[in-house]
């Protein structure tokens, strides 16, 4: 879809986005808070955009970072409260600066001018309305590189449908294969149910990840899964779902990089790194379910 077509679609859909945001139902928590009137919901962010940093990121998966880097905008706050969050100063302590939608648009254009392969919105779910408005301005001013929606995977179907045709690359987490650990560790109800609905919708919109001749992503779905110690993420169930309900061709990034951060240090099972056998167990499940596209990380 051309930027002009995206502008037209987004302008038409903007009232629906604003309605979801007004009495907030931007994510499955459905706090019903009036963020524009100073009330705060679970994500503790108002209606204006808040970001922590913007720059070229070379540490994402290879098709996202490419040779020149991913134009990454770290948005402040989160609709999840993972006690192990490795970005906790930004997501949980909400370090960042409140800006206007025009400044957010300018950040995107600046990243494009720096040569970014894409604009990568990190933790966009709870700031969807502000991002939406900023994108209309950015497209009008010449933004034309792919958009990456890099979320924790707890996204509302209603809002995702409003992104249809706009987002080029979905890069959600699939954090848990069961709701019980999600509730205990990330303080969120029915993570697995909503995550699975979201992943199916993302797949419907963009399909399997497609790369250009240089190996850079143009469009599609890339799912991230962080293996947790003690098999708390129920990795096998996550991978089974992706293979059986999304596609065996799905690109999966199976991560071993967990380290105890933030409140994980007070949790018996979470206060250590993932063991070699735990990661290998997840890797074996990946192979067993026929998920051959994607990346694994080194393990000691």
Q: Using the minimum distance from each CB to ligand SF4, give the nearer residue, 24 or 206.
A: 24
Binding mask 103-132 for ligand SF4 (x = CB under 6 A): -----------------------x------
Geometric angle at alpha carbon 208, from 207 and 212, rounded to 5°:
115
27 binds ligand SF4 (CB under 6 A): yes
Which class for 231: exposed (0-12), middle (13-18), buried (19 or more C-beta within 10 A)? middle
- In angstroms, give the least distance from the CB of 237 to ligand SF4: 25
**Is there a contact between 165 and 216 (Cβ–Cβ < 8 Å)?**
no
Q: Which is nearer to ligand SF4, 26 or 222 (CB)?
A: 26
List 6, 10, 17, 43, residue binding ligand SF4 (CB under 6 A): 43
CB atoms near residue 38 (< 10 Å)? 9
Q: Rule CB under 6 A: is residue 29 a binding residue for ligand SF4? A: yes
Residue with token string 């779910």: 125
CA dist 46 and 43 (Å) reads: 9
- Site residues for ligand SF4, window 49-68 (CB under 6 A)? none
Kind of pairing, strands 217-226 and 169-170? parallel
Question: Is residue 30 part of the contact set for ligand SF4 (CB under 6 A)?
Answer: yes
- Choose between 66 and 124: whose C-beta lies nearer to ligand SF4: 124
260 in Cβ contact with 270 (< 8 Å): yes
The window from 28-36, 53-61, 171-179, 191-199 that contacts ligand SF4 (CB under 6 A) reads 28-36
Q: Does 155 contact ligand SF4 by CB under 6 A?
A: no
Residues 79-98 touching ligand SF4, rule: CB under 6 A, are 79
Locate the DSSP E strands across the chain.
50-57, 70-75, 97-98, 119-122, 147-150, 169-170, 210-211, 217-226, 251-255, 294-296
- Does 33 bind ligand SF4 (CB under 6 A)? Our answer is yes
Distance from C-alpha of 152 to C-alpha of 19, rounded to nearest angstrom:
23
> Least distance from C-beta 255 to ligand SF4, angstroms?
25
Tell me which stretch binds ligand SF4 (CB under 6 A): 24-32, 58-66, 185-193, 197-205: 24-32
Member of 42, 60, 133, 173 binding ligand SF4 (CB under 6 A): 42
Helix (H, G, I), strand (E, B) or coil at 220: strand
For residue 18, CA distances in Å to 13, 36, 151, 264 come to: 9, 10, 20, 36
Of 6, 41, 72, 91, which one interacts with ligand SF4 (CB under 6 A)? 41
Contact 221, 204 (CB under 8 A): no
With H, G, I as helix, E, B as strand and everything else as coil, classify residue 219. strand
Q: Which two tokens stand for residue 114?
A: 């720096």
Q: Between 130 and 171, whose beta carbon lies closer to ligand SF4?
A: 130
Tell me which residues touch ligand SF4 (CB under 6 A). 24-27, 29-31, 33, 41-43, 79, 126
């Amino acid at each position: 879809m051309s930027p002009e077509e995206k502008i037209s679609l987004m302008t038409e859909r903007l009232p629906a986005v604003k309605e979801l945001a007004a009495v907030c139902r931007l994510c499955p928590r459905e706090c019903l808070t009036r963020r524009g009137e100073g009330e705060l919901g679970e994500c503790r962010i108002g209606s204006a955009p808040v970001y922590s940093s913007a720059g070229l990121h070379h540490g994402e998966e290879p098709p996202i970072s490419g040779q020149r880097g991913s134009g990454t905008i770290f948005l402040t706050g989160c609709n999840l409260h993972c006690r192990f969050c490795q970005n906790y100063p930004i997501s949980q302590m909400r370090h960042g600066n409140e800006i206007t939608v025009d400044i957010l648009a300018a950040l995107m254009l600046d990243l494009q001018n720096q040569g970014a392969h894409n604009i990568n919105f990190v933790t966009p779910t709870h700031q969807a309305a502000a991002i939406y408005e900023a994108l209309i301005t950015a497209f009008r001013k010449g933004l034309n590189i792919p958009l990456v929606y890099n979320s924790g995977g707890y996204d509302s179907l209603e809002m995702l449908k409003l992104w249809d045709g706009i987002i080029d690359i979905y890069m959600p987490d699939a954090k848990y294969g069961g709701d019980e650990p999600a509730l205990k560790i990330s303080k969120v109800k029915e993570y697995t149910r909503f995550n699975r609905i979201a992943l199916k919708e993302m797949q419907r919109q963009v399909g399997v990840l497609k790369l250009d001749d240089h190996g850079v992503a143009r469009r599609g779905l890339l799912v991230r899964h962080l293996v947790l110690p003690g098999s708390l993420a129920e990795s096998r169930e996550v991978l089974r779902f992706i293979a059986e309900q999304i596609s065996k061709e799905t690109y999966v990034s199976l991560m071993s990089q967990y380290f105890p951060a933030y409140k994980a240090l007070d949790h018996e099972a979470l206060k250590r790194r993932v063991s070699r056998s735990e990661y290998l167990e997840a890797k074996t499940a990946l192979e067993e379910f026929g998920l051959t596209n994607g990346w694994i990380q080194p393990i000691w």
